[in-house]
Amino acid sequence: MPKKAWSWLYYNSPKQKVDKFTKEGIKKKCDKFIESVLKPRFISSSQSALDGSCVIDIYSKWWRNFIYFYAKYKDNRAEAIEPTYDWKLARIEYLKGDKYNLAYFRHTGKWWVIFYEIPLEECFESIEEMPHFHPY
């Protein structure tokens, strides 16, 4: 008979479901921020990265209680598998009321939360100022 041993019990708290009206309101604010701040700053016709790809669009998309910011790239290389591809820039997690977690997509393929329980306007300020959330 095996010996008894202590172990950790992991518990994930239930996620806050986001109603349709809240989603629409947050999506409008995010799209307004993208149109007024991110697109003018990071999308230009003369932009060309060293690897031959350039940002052609920035948009947001809901999934469960997260809203993601994506950058769409156009790959100009001859050996490119796809002419365009999407890359995740930021993830805003809705908690409740005006509380959000802000995360960026690391090179390891994992999301890393760097701001906990902050208002949406602070999320926008952080995305604008911090290079973690900028397209490369």
Considering the domain boundaries, does residue 2 fall inside one?
A: no
Rounded CA gap, 69 and 89, in Å? Answer: 5
Rounded CA gap, 60 and 20, in Å? Answer: 16
Is 4's pLDDT higher than 70?
A: yes
Considering the domain boundaries, does residue 10 fall inside one?
A: no
Q: Number of structural domains, the chain?
A: 1
58: tokens are 């920035």
| Burial class of residue 115, CB neighbours in 10 A (0-12, 13-18, 19+) | middle
Mean confidence (pLDDT) of the chain: 84
Domain span including residue 87 = 20-133
Considering the domain boundaries, does residue 119 fall inside one?
A: yes
Rounded CA gap, 8 and 32, in Å? Answer: 44
Considering the domain boundaries, does residue 4 fall inside one?
A: no
Rounded CA gap, 111 and 133, in Å? Answer: 12
Considering the domain boundaries, does residue 15 fall inside one?
A: no
At residue 25's C-alpha, the angle toward residues 20 and 26, to 5°, is 100
pLDDT tens sequence across 42-76: 887 655 656 677 888 999 999 989 999 999 988 87
Residue found under tokens 């950058």: 71
pLDDT tens sequence across 69-128: 999 988 877 787 888 888 899 999 998 888 999 999 888 888 999 999 999 999 999 998
DSSP per residue over 95-126, as a string? EETTEEEEEEE-TTS-EEEEEEEE-HHHHHHH
What is the C-alpha radius of gyration for the chain, rounded to an integer number of angstroms?
19
